[in-house]
């Protein structure tokens, strides 16, 4: 559920943003309306344009065309210091010669706030990020997670209209990332500050976001809640990018209201927009069984017991699929098995455009 926006939170509007570096068009007509107090995650692989988009909002990159509005005010060409937006970088960007208190209080000191007020704000903010006991320490004396908290505190202290975060957890180990995700979500909920968070990690996107904006090659692929983009992917790219393991794909064709591929012949509700088609289904929605008893048969390539579940990798023609099975399941390599999933959990995509078809599998 979205946090309650504070009176300081403002709507952030990105309208038809474009940015090129030389002949490379990095961000292409990006338009997103971010509600006051919303936590929006820009998600995509390296080089997809998400960080460039964030830097345009911060004023660190110029906009070739399009506009950026904050609370109804056009800030497209405003200098960063006049945007009242705080940015948290991947590298934390702390001053090594300043203490935690001095790092956190620096934005207020630069703004000319009285010393007593700075000290009070530092203590209040340090308590919020659980760093009250470390105010006299230097960054070199802190762990990665503690340095991250200082960077967050420095961004929070002046109560900006919006937070921009560029992969702030990527330098932390897996356990600490999980802990800091929970800290971030809790803090943003309590503060209610409009936030754009950039990451290539779909777990971070799923756990943190009110909505996820998925980008690829500069183009916004889909915008929706984590559940929407996972359960109803709009494109082949989104379907394959969201999920671990990702969605399984079977490449085939649609003709006479049938989807056909190697050992696959399934009825569909209508013919698609392209003869070339891709059938997709999630590993956790499917199961393997005795050959001949499912939707189609495939050959076991590997069976991996992870402790929590067993991942069964099967091969069908040129396609490789992964099925999540109970942890005590095992299957012999090279054996033939059936693959089953509820037909309403299967998706059909146009292979040419990459878009999801409106037609669907039929049958029990």
User: Over the stretch 267-288, which tens digit does the pLDDT of each residue have?
Assistant: 999 998 888 999 999 999 999 9
- Is residue 85 pLDDT above 60, yes or no? yes
**Per-position b or e across 110-121, b if 16+ CB within 10 A of its CB:** eeebeeeebeeb
CATH number listed for the domain at residues 245-350:
2.40.50.140
Q: Predicted confidence band at 4 (pLDDT cuts at 50, 70, 90)?
A: low
Q: Where are the domains of the chain?
A: 12-234, 245-350
What the block records as the tokens of 52 is 């460039």
Tell me the pLDDT tens digit for each residue of 122-141: 999 998 888 999 999 999 99
Mean pLDDT value across the chain: 92
| Cβ contact 354:236 at 8 Å | yes
Backbone angles phi, psi at 7, to 5 degrees: -65, -20
Tell me the pLDDT tens digit for each residue of 182-194: 888 888 888 888 9
E-strand stretches of 22-64: 24-34, 39-43
Q: Which of 119-128, 154-163, 234-243 has the weakest average pLDDT?
A: 154-163
Percent pLDDT > 90 in the chain is: 75
pTM of the model: 0.87
pLDDT at residue 7, rounded to an integer = 62
Tell me the pLDDT tens digit for each residue of 35-68: 999 999 999 999 999 999 999 999 999 999 999 9
pLDDT at residue 160, rounded to an integer = 87
Verify cis geometry, omega within 30 degrees of 0, for the bond prior to 76: no
Fold match between domain 12-234 and domain 245-350: no
- Is residue 329 pLDDT above 70, yes or no? yes
- The class level of CATH for 12-234 reads alpha beta
**How large is the average pLDDT for residues 286-294?**
96
């Amino acid at each position: 559920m979205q946090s309650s926006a504070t009176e300081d939170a403002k709507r952030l509007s990105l309208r038809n943003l474009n940015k090129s570096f030389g002949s490379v068009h990095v961000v292409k007509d990006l338009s997103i309306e971010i509600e006051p107090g919303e936590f929006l995650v820009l998600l995509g692989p390296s080089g997809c344009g998400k960080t460039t988009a964030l830097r345009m909002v911060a004023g660190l990159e110029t906009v070739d065309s399009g506009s950026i509005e904050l609370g109804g005010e056009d800030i497209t060409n405003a200098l960063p210091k006049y945007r009242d937006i705080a940015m948290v970088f991947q590298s934390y960007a702390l001053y090594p010669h300043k203490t935690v208190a001095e790092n956190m209080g620096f934005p207020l000191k630069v703004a000319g706030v009285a010393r007593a007020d700075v000290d009070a704000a530092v203590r209040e903010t340090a308590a919020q990020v659980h760093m009250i006991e470390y105010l006299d320490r230097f960054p070199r004396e802190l762990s990665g997670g503690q340095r991250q908290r200082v960077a967050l505190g420095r961004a929070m202290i002046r109560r900006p209209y919006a937070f921009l975060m560029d992969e702030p957890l990527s330098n932390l180990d897996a356990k600490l990332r999980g802990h800091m995700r929970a800290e971030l979500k809790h803090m943003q909920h309590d503060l209610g500050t409009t936030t754009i968070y950039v990451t290539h990690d779909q777990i971070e996107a799923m756990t943190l976001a009110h909505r996820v904006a998925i980008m690829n090659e500069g183009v916004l692929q889909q915008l929706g809640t984590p559940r929407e983009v996972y359960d109803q992917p709009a494109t082949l790219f989104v379907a394959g990018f969201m999920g671990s393991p990702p969605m399984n794909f079977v490449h085939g064709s649609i003709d006479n209201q049938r989807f056909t591929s190697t050992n696959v012949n399934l009825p569909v509700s209508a013919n698609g927009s392209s003869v070339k088609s891709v059938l997709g289904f999630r590993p956790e929605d499917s199961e393997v069984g005795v050959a001949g008893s499912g939707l189609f048969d495939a050959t076991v390539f590997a069976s991996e017991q992870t402790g929590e579940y067993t991942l069964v990798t099967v091969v069908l023609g040129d396609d490789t699929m992964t099925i999540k099975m109970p942890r005590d399941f095992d299957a012999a390599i090279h054996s033939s098995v059936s693959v089953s999933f509820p037909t309403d959990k299967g998706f059909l995509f146009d292979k040419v455009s990459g878009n999801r078809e409106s037609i669907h599998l039929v049958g029990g």
